Amino acid sequence: MARSEGLPVPGSRAARPATEIDEVDLVPVRTYWQLVRKRFLQHRLATIALVLMLVLVTASIAVPLIGGDAWFKTSLTHGPKDPSSLAAPLGYDNLGINIFFRLMRGLQTSLTIGFFAVLIIAGLGTTVGSIAGYVGGWVDNVLMRIIDIVLSLPTFFLVLMFVAFMGQGNVFVIIFAIGLTGWTTAARLVRAEFLRLRESDFVQAAKALGASDRRIVIRHMIPSALAPVVVASTLGIADSVVTEAALSFLGFGLRTPEASLGNMLTNAQDYFYRQPLWIWYPGITLILLVLAASFLGDGLRDALDPRQRIEA
């Protein structure tokens, strides 16, 4: 017998109840940032790094506020001591200064230098890279040759000279020195993204609608090109902290009584055999900070990449 026209076939979509269709066929739609969050949380090391970074940042802010001037206040009644009490969990140094409070103050200083140096790196790199990638032509060639020249120079030596001539021990000089010599990588990443986005459909549509170049770059292209900048900035925090520690260790960075992880290492090297823990404390803190920033950058890179798959 021929099948009657207009009757639903058993087992087909039309033959199922509405409730069953809703439960089976409707798939929740996830936004881009929901996918980014899920991909990031699936990265175990990045999640641990985020928690560790939050702990370090919180401690560097809260502990100096609680301790007040304990990070530089000397005491004649407290000589070099090992960890003994909750008031001094890491003991006291040769000047009677509470090592724990000084360590947290040094961590705060190093994080501040790294954060503000990265702001300069991201801002300058995004500006130069967007101009080179969007304008193109001779402007792109000139800017890229400048970037190649800066990349060919020894970066740490430039920072060292800048700090030595402009003012040793000045935190603002160190920030500007690191920022003005580390923007080239961010500029190249932004330029590459702009070369890709310049020919995309939404940019061409904005041009056809009469949008100005400034509006296209700021409102449409820069937000789409920020993913590699975020990753480079996170990794740049680790590089900036290491650079500041190296400068302070060599005597060109921050000096006593100001505290940083680098000058804590410098001040403790004379007591390496008598009090080795005085080097371990800032050294391990520096290692944890760099590892947290590095793994966090790796996790953000994978999370912001739309080609990465999400595990069920």
Tokens 């080179």 belong to 132
How does pLDDT run across 166-183, given as a tens digit for each residue?
Answer: 877 788 888 999 988 888
Would you state the pLDDT for residue 53? 93
Give me the pLDDT at residue 308, please.
58
> What are 55-72's pLDDT values in tens digits?
999 999 998 898 888 788
Mean pLDDT, rounded, of the chain: 81
The domain at 42-70+106-303 falls in which architecture?
A: Orthogonal Bundle (1.10)
| pLDDT given at position 24 | 47
pLDDT of residue 82: 58
pTM of the model: 0.79
Give the integer Cα–Cα distance in Å for 106 and 46.
25
Mean pLDDT of 116-144: 90
* Three-state secondary structure readout of 148-211: HHHHHCCHHHHHHHHHHHHCCCCHHHHHHHHHHHCCHHHHHHHHHHHHHHCCCHHHHHHHHCCC
Provide mean pLDDT across the span 126-134: 89
pLDDT at residue 285, rounded to an integer: 92
What does the pLDDT read at residue 278?
A: 85
CA 83 to chain centre: 33
pLDDT in the model for residue 21: 46
Angle at CA of residue 259, ends 162 and 159, nearest 5°: 15
Residue-level pLDDT at 305: 67
User: Phi first, then psi: what are they for 92, rounded to 5°?
Assistant: -125, 155
| Range of 137-146, 189-198, 273-282 with top mean pLDDT | 137-146
Picking from 104, 95, 93, the residue whose alpha carbon sits closest to that of residue 68 is 104
Sign of the alpha-carbon torsion through 208, 213, 219, 225: positive
Tokens of 278: 């005085």
Mean pLDDT, residues 212-236? 82
- What contacts 24+ positions apart, CB below 8 Å, involve 195-203? 195/133, 195/136, 197/133, 197/221, 197/224, 197/225, 198/133, 198/134, 198/136
